[in-house]
Structure 1
């Protein structure tokens, strides 16, 4: 009997080890159930819903979001949950724009939770501003209702709402929306675009406090400062090589490959440094393209080569045998891994270089978001590399 209890205690200890912060585990699990949990731990996600005011005065905010997306993604790519790296999903809403449907509160879901970083970039670059009514409570409630937040207690579930009008506008009380957010284990963080004290008096701080979120004030009109490094040119050359490792397949393959190139161009239009940051994002585990890239599709078991139809293949693989296709995919996979490792090594040097450069431009969207995410991630026992 003593041996049994020792074994049982050891099994429960294993559960605590493999879970990042899972709570309320059943205390009467049978031993064989414990083994199942040990071999198949939950898959953790960082889920971020970004709610952006796109009224007339918010051009600077939208510009910061476009320019700093890759900074945010890169910072999140360093997160760890125990020994594992969580996945990232980003959803995007715009609100307060006269072009939107007034009967729905001038709110539009631009993108539901997505791991497709190219899609997220594309939609951000599609946003334009126009005068309107900003209903904070309603856009928060809409995102809570529409998005699949899931029930995994280890997921980090965050809303970031940014704007500059009183938080109290609209028919839905922000306090009711906050109560619903608490029920779903979602933390609401508020970013007031303007004076810190003005944001407090217009209830933006209270909007964050109700879910134990962070209240921040930023200067949305401050231009994003991109610091160059001696490693940028090498990283951009590697980006060109990285793009050549993708094998477009299926009905969306060519279109998605073109979108990849388009988002490379959007990043480079801001600056060389921003293009470098996107390249680093593309070399991380967060950049996934199994829906159109055969390398990712095979590695993530989305596609079995034996089952793929010839018409779904790109020209270079049409008419090839299954063995030849496997060999080609394996070759591209190894090339990609080697290039990603080169980018990672250069990025380590780049980060060390940038850490020594002084910059006072910290009052922006990216710094506000990453600071809040890191603080709130501690509650879920997430760590950063």
Structure 2
């Protein structure tokens, strides 16, 4: 046998011997006992990364004159609702959209705020809405529901939780000839895997029947609250301190990039400061808690935030072109830039640690406050109704939200 034929035969024989060694009969009953072969540490099989889950929710809110309590509750509660959802583990992508509706002849029929994970932007636009208009009892509910289902950028993945919360006190106009009627929108929602939940303000019987019908069409939930939205607002002794720390954290955000990038980022920071200056301390505390969460942190800092970019290795700042650096860093040497980043990161981490301490104290205070209230009051609250619906529905998408509703 020549040498060229001999080498392949050795390989075949070795492979057969290895297979026999791994599957050799060891028992008297003829069963096979696999032999464990240790895997070297550097070739250990890595477990697949879990894909980040996504939650998309559009709130379709009646913004006519009778809805002062609802709009007020939305302004008070949007951060705490987002904070409740952020308790999912692993942290999901949370996108919220808004649709305000009135009726024909009012200042607007519908006004939309696109789905976004940038809650500062969502909140800023929410603050510009007040309750006005209306008159006759029916409203443009049909148009609102249809646009909520069809005019937003809904994710197509069947693993994404998608829901609309329709909130109002009046039934739809069924006499508008150019409307897409709500049963059609219900069918479209089912096709798009969007759950329709309804919350009725007050006790209009005509609206009650239709609200229940809309919720039932996609296995959503129906709830009824009073005209003040059964709101629970807990003010704690720690809110002001948390708000102050939050303001200081806002000021630590430093961005790099093109002139346009830095302009957009500067406006992001300015928007956050405007929000906090115009908000109550408990709302500012809710915002701070959400922005500190795994779900909120990425959107809060956004893209090209220099400190988070350099967190794992301050030497990364050396890779940024001088013209893309913040103005205060352009005149620094390489050594000075690294020292500056380290100092600012230490400041941010110190503030974050202090924030977490006061957030825990705030949560302990709220837990005690809620225990002193009746169970019926807490269970029927606006925040809890929304949270419980989402918590139960996201289970079907393997998104598990732990804990209770945030306040």
Question: 1:55–1:228: structure 2 CA closer, same or farther, 3 Å change rule?
Answer: closer
Q: Aligned pair 1:192/2:200, yes or no?
A: yes
Deviation of 1:217 after TM superposition, in Å, equals 1.4
What's the secondary structure of 2:279's corresponding residue? Answer: helix
- The 2-side partners of 1:155 and 1:329 are apart by 37
Equivalent position of 2:156 in the other structure: 151
Question: 1:141–1:76: structure 2 CA closer, same or farther, 3 Å change rule?
Answer: same
Further displaced range: 363-372 or 212-221: 363-372
Equivalent position of 2:126 in the other structure: 124
Deviation of 1:309 after TM superposition, in Å, equals 4.9
TM-score, reference length from structure 1: 0.77
- The 1-side partners of 2:241 and 2:115 are apart by 33
- The 1-side partners of 2:78 and 2:142 are apart by 25
Equivalent position of 2:302 in the other structure: 290
Match of 2:189 among 181, 191, 198: 181
Deviation of 1:86 after TM superposition, in Å, equals 0.7
- The 2-side partners of 1:140 and 1:222 are apart by 20
Equivalent position of 1:107 in the other structure: 110
Question: 1:299–1:187: structure 2 CA closer, same or farther, 3 Å change rule?
Answer: farther
What's the secondary structure of 2:263's corresponding residue? Answer: coil
- The 1-side partners of 2:284 and 2:66 are apart by 27
Match of 1:162 among 167, 170, 173: 167
Deviations 1:352-373 (A, max 9, x none): 2222222355444323211211
Contact 1:138 1:177 in 2 (8 A): no
Q: Aligned pair 1:85/2:98, yes or no?
A: no
The list of structure 1 runs, each at least 4 consecutive aligned residues, that deviate by more than 6 angstroms after superposition, is 1-4
The 5 A counterparts of 1:302-317 are 305=317, 308-317=320-329
Equivalent position of 1:368 in the other structure: 385
Equivalent position of 2:368 in the other structure: 356
Q: Aligned pair 1:56/2:65, yes or no?
A: yes
Higher Rg of the two aligned structures:
2
Contact 1:295 1:333 in 2 (8 A): yes
Contact 1:242 1:339 in 2 (8 A): yes
- The 1-side partners of 2:364 and 2:60 are apart by 33
Question: 1:227–1:67: structure 2 CA closer, same or farther, 3 Å change rule?
Answer: same
The 5 A counterparts of 1:204-223 are 204-221=211-228
TM-score, reference length from structure 2: 0.73
- The 1-side partners of 2:303 and 2:128 are apart by 22
Deviations 1:113-170 (A, max 9, x none): 1111110110110112332463323222223222221122222111111111114645
Deviations 1:192-235 (A, max 9, x none): 1112756423x101111101111111223358443233433442
Deviation of 1:290 after TM superposition, in Å, equals 1.5
Question: 1:298–1:161: structure 2 CA closer, same or farther, 3 Å change rule?
Answer: farther
Equivalent position of 1:377 in the other structure: 394
The 5 A counterparts of 1:188-267 are 188-195=196-203, 199-201=207-209, 203-221=210-228, 224-249=231-256, 250-267=262-279
Runs of 5+ in structure 2 lacking a partner? 1-18, 24-44, 257-261
Deviation of 1:265 after TM superposition, in Å, equals 1.9
Further displaced range: 219-228 or 119-128: 219-228
Runs of 5+ in structure 1 lacking a partner? 5-34
- The 2-side partners of 1:279 and 1:307 are apart by 31
Equivalent position of 1:328 in the other structure: 340
The 5 A counterparts of 1:29-48 are 39-48=48-57
- The 2-side partners of 1:158 and 1:322 are apart by 49
Give the aligned CA root-mean-square deviation in angstroms: 3.1
Further displaced range: 205-214 or 238-247: 238-247
